Amino acid sequence: MRVSQTLNPREVEKPFRLRWVRMTLQLMLRAPVRFSIAILLLGCMDAFVIRLLPNRIPRIWAIRLGMLLLPLAWVVTAALARGADNSTQNWKALIGLTRPIVWLSALAIGLGLVTLDVAIWQLLFPNLHSEDVNLFSGRVLHFTGLQAWMVMTAAGICFFPLLVLESGLSFAEVRRLSLSATEINGPKTISWFMTWMICVAGTLQQFVPAYGLTMATWVVFAGVLNYVAYRDIFERRSANLPQPAAVPLVAIGSQSVQ
């Protein structure tokens, strides 16, 4: 299909890294309930995988299950971030999650991560048995969060928001647009930006493991950051929308009396 001109990526105003971080934090603080639930669900998933699945599947495959989770989590986070930014688009963004191509595309990215991991382990650690892999609290999410750089490299920083919020695009078109957005805005800049944030998240995970919730917070934060980057590059909007002003109850009461 022919891509709309409004989907042409732009080069955003530099420096953009701290601006994107600030906008991401503001969005998460604007809607703390939805993002806290997302973080808690990821933490519960980590506990479920560690306590139940290693008894049924090899431990290394329990970790690889977490690799499948990252793209799926970012799909959901893209819709949540849109709703936090623009409440009038909340349901439209959530309805975007009902399209099968969204989940199939995210699953394809996850399967690519797992395939790459299998190849690396076979090449570097051919004699390592799955029983030798230690599973501790937060281990699954730790590996999940560290895959962020690989996903950004393979799919670009705007892949998941484009996938969810721009209907009618194929997997190949979404990936092409996302990689183009990364190329226009400096792949090295964005790569080092993501590397720096992953290092910070990994360090915090070591000192403040919080039963996996530290890395769960990073996964959600990175997903919201993807949305902020998409909005700046494709929608030409570098700032969050202002929150709608609350209508005073006194004013409502006076209008009903009239």
Looking at per-residue pLDDT, the higher value among 77 and 209 belongs to 77
Cβ–Cβ < 8 Å for 109, 154? yes
CA dist 12 → 16, 25, 43, 148, 187 (Å): 7, 19, 34, 22, 13
Residues 179-195: b if buried by 16+ CB within 10 A, e if exposed = bbbbeebeeeebeebbe
- Report whether pLDDT(255) > 70: no
Q: Model-level pTM?
A: 0.84
Burial (CB < 10 A; 0-12, 13-18, 19+), residue 257, is exposed
Nearest Cα residue to 80 out of 36, 131, 129 = 36
What are the pLDDT digits (tens) for 130-146? 554 554 445 556 666 66
Cis preceding linkage at 15, omega within 30: yes
Amino acid 106: pLDDT: 92
What are the pLDDT digits (tens) for 65-81? 777 888 888 999 999 99
Amino acid 218: pLDDT: 85
DSSP state of 14: S
Amino acid 36: pLDDT: 94
What are the pLDDT digits (tens) for 188-206? 888 888 888 877 877 777 7
What is the Cα–Cα distance from 36 to 44, expressed in whole angstroms? 12
Looking at per-residue pLDDT, the higher value among 208 and 163 belongs to 163
